[in-house]
Chains A and B, each alone.
Chain A
């Protein structure tokens, strides 16, 4: 049984049908990537799984249970974390305060243990721990967003464009970290514009086009696919 299973999911914004009946699974321990052009519905997919936007049809199953009707905070408690598009750190809280918020649903002991992990994964955050998150650089904020999402010890970590707007060197670093987090036991559902890099670390992937899944396969298969190469990998 898959850890996360999406069955014929639909999401609308008023009359706009952003996601039109997609189905896919994420198995325990996998890294799965969703790729697609701007407006394909990638963020909408993750936001619907989180419960931030209401589902218009279909079901979401997690860990053997139907979570379609649960509110966001209950999904977080069950182990679904999202590091949203555009970082969304709490600008006036310190780095430490942001991490504490990440651990809102877990015990104090877990908070302390996970904070140690976070500082180990991202030493720069330890240096900046007293600083207001709004004053961090873009890359630092991205690291904070990822670290914050990890604080609740999620079973699945969803990352929406973690490399957006970052320098190539930092992008490589972020992808290495994603692999490391995955090796430590967290299942990853990744959304990326940087399809090449994302597919190279993924077990499997899905291609979204105007709200529908048009292609799926292993990371290597997708990276080798004609169409994916021409549309999403810049024709190389």
Chain B
């Protein structure tokens, strides 16, 4: 029983973590909460349905197309709207509300195209469940854990082991100075949107397969939880998102398992509030320092 909850919690948590990474990466370079992140997450699951179930494209291709299309959508948002807003030196809140706008438009488009009912997300591998230490393991949870692990390793390498990653961190610390070093800041920002959104989109597909269903309200329900995960860990910090996602995933699974499914969202947020009162910048976030 405990082990079962642990595995389920880890699976859900690592999906949350990957969505949180999407928020966190963009926040790192732009100090912007990209609220469209959650809409792209859900859109990916719907696109998979469209490409695979309706258009009968090969499954792998359908997934890749869905990911690339969502990431490209985020890049479009950045190029067509966020970049011009930044150029005019608008207050940060303008860009933020712009992402809320995109989120709403995308969710509405999905509603229009797919309707409001819950749709089954297809999965082609028929892997038999097996038993381990008294728990019934759905092999797909192992795929989720493996994917999350590989992606986190990749992102850590990208951020801390490459020149591009160092440029991302430099932009996050001082954008003007990064420009003066010869960094093409807009190019790095575009790349960040692409990678962050691709992560969120992949999570959307995985969560759709995990629950075998997707509907447009997930943009809100999972969106708010994963955003909370990013804040809990310390937004802008990569491993913070990982820990934040896992904590919320495990908490809600254990609460649902041992107390009541009805309380699971509330408990996750009570923990979030408690942590923020004690550590306002999240578990791994650096305290905000005002510049002298």
Contacts and interface: CB of A to CB of B under 8 A. Distances in A.
Interface of A: 50-52, 71-73, 76-77, 81-82, 84, 88-93, 97, 100-102, 104-105, 148-149, 152
Given A73-B183, A90-B174, 11 more contacts: A50-B180, A52-B179, A52-B180, A71-B184, A72-B179, A73-B182, A76-B182, A93-B166, A101-B183, A148-B181, A152-B181
Contacts of B180: 50, 52, 72, 76, 81-82, 84, 88, 149
B87 to A, nearest CB: 9
A76 B180 CA distance: 7
A91 B173 contact: yes
A104 B183 contact: yes
- Chain B at the A interface: SS class: helix
Contacts of A71: 184
A13 B169 CA distance: 28
15 contacts: A51-B179, A71-B184, A82-B180, A84-B177, A88-B176, A89-B174, A89-B177, A90-B169, A90-B173, A91-B173, A92-B169, A93-B170, A100-B163, A105-B182, A152-B182
A89 B291 CA distance: 13
Interface string B161-195: 00100110110011011111111110000000000
Interface residues of B, number: 18
Contacts of B185: 73
B182 A90 contact: no
B184 to A, nearest CB: 5
A84 B286 CA distance: 25
A93 B170 CA distance: 8
A88 B169 contact: no
Interface of B: 163, 166-167, 169-170, 173-174, 176-185, 286
A88 B185 CA distance: 16
Contacts of B183: 73, 101, 104
Contact of B182 (A77, A84, A88, A97): A77
Contacts of B166: 93, 97, 100-101
Q: Which of B166, B180, B181, B182 has the largest number of chain A CB atoms within 10 A?
A: B180
Contacts of A100: 163, 166
Nearest to A106: B182
Given A101-B166, A104-B167, A93 B182 contact: no
Nearest to B184: A73
A91 B286 CA distance: 12
Contacts of A105: 181-182
Contacts of A50: 179-180
A77 B183 CA distance: 10
B285 to A, nearest CB: 12
B238 to A, nearest CB: 13
A52 B170 contact: no
A28 B276 CA distance: 56
B169 A93 contact: yes
Nearest to A103: B181
A34 B179 CA distance: 23
Contact of A76 (B167, B174, B181): B181
A229 B166 CA distance: 46
Contacts of A81: 180
Nearest to B176: A52
Contact of A101 (B176, B181, B184, B286): B181
